[in-house]
């Protein structure tokens, strides 16, 4: 596998993740159970970066934030703001399209208990780095959560200490701006750490910065 590849559907660079995906595939033969590629407008001016595929969401469907709780808020918000053709994302072939935005993840494979190890985050960073390098039109990156925030900084060769994660914060990275939001996970929304209104403000802010 060439390290400058944006996506490798057969990647097995992380032994723990590869073994876990093999186990999940045996239990759920119809699931995607492979690295999940980015989804959306190839010419997008802004990119949303999440953590990793969910067990019964992107890992099942093969499309980021599709078929799980986190995707309910994300796609509804994008549709309300005019960036998605439909308010719900249920399957890779459901016809939904994104306009001007793309969605990716810091880690492309499903991790056990939704918790990738630091070395797995670092290993997968080559794909995010390649994706950003291959997308000169990107002006804004919206990071959903601290791990995505750190992965974007690593991919752009920036020091994390100079750009602390905080919901709603914007970080000037020169040609690009990094915007932070809490992840739209079930835990964050049910505990009201993240409300729909808070999330929409963060998403709208990133979209405005992207022009």
| Dihedral, 74, 78, 80, 82 alpha carbons, nearest 10 | -170
- 6 pLDDT band, cuts 50/70/90, is confident
Q: What is the pLDDT of residues 13-30, one digit of tens each?
A: 999 999 999 999 999 999
- In the DSSP assignment, the letter for residue 160 is G
Domains of the chain (ranges plus CATH)? 31-210 (3.40.470.10)
Q: Taking CA 82 as the corner, what is the angle to CA 41 and CA 80, rounded to the nearest 5 degrees?
A: 125
Q: What is the pTM of this model?
A: 0.96
Share of the chain above pLDDT 90, in %: 97
Indicate whether 4 pLDDT > 70.
no
Q: Which residue has the tokens 């590849």?
A: 5
- Contact call for residues 167 and 181 (beta carbons, < 8 A): yes
Cite the beta strand spans of 4-149 per DSSP E. 39-40, 46-50, 101-105, 140-144
What average pLDDT does the segment 60-76 reach? 97
Residue 101 tokens read as: 């935005």
User: What would the two tokens of residue 65 be?
Assistant: 């934030």
Tell me how far apart the alpha carbons of residues 66 and 82 are, in angstroms, rounded to a whole number: 18
pLDDT for the residue numbered 2: 37
Tokens standing for 32?
């995607």
Task: Report pLDDT digits (tens) over 119-137.
Answer: 999 999 999 999 999 999 9
User: How much is the average pLDDT of 2-20?
Assistant: 84
Query: Which segments within the chain are labelled E, that is strand?
Result: 39-40, 46-50, 101-105, 140-144, 170-172, 177-181
Q: How far apart are CA 149 and CA 32, in angstroms?
A: 26
pLDDT in tens, 81-119: 999 999 999 999 999 999 999 999 999 999 999 999 999
pLDDT band with cut points at 50, 70 and 90 for residue 3: very low
Indicate whether 208 pLDDT > 70: yes
Residue 39 has pLDDT above 90, yes or no: yes
Percent of the chain with pLDDT over 70: 98
Mean pLDDT, residues 127-155 taken together: 97
Average pLDDT of the chain is: 96
Q: How many residues does the chain have?
A: 211
pLDDT-derived band at 5 (thresholds 50, 70, 90) equals low
């Amino acid at each position: 596998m060439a390290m400058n590849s944006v996506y490798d559907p057969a990647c097995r660079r992380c032994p723990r993740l590869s073994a876990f995906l093999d186990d999940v595939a045996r239990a759920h033969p119809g699931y995607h159970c492979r690295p999940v590629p980015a989804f959306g407008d190839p010419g997008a001016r802004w990119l949303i970066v999440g953590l990793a595929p969910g067990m019964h969401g992107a890992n099942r469907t093969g499309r980021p934030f599709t078929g799980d709780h986190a995707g309910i808020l994300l796609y509804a918000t994008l549709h309300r703001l005019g960036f998605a053709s439909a308010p719900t994302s249920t399957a890779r072939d459901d016809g939904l399209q994104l306009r001007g935005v793309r969605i990716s993840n810091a880690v492309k494979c499903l991790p056990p208990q939704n918790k990738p190890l630091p070395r797995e985050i670092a290993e997968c960073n080559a794909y995010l780095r390649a994706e950003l390098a291959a997308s000169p039109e990107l002006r804004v990156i919206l990071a959903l959560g601290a791990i995505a925030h750190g992965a974007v900084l690593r991919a752009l060769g920036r020091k994390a200490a100079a750009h602390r994660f905080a919901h709603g914060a914007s970080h000037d990275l020169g040609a690009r701006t990094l915007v932070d939001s809490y992840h739209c996970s079930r835990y964050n929304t049910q505990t009201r750490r993240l409300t729909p209104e808070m999330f929409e403000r963060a998403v709208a802010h990133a979209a405005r910065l992207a022009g």
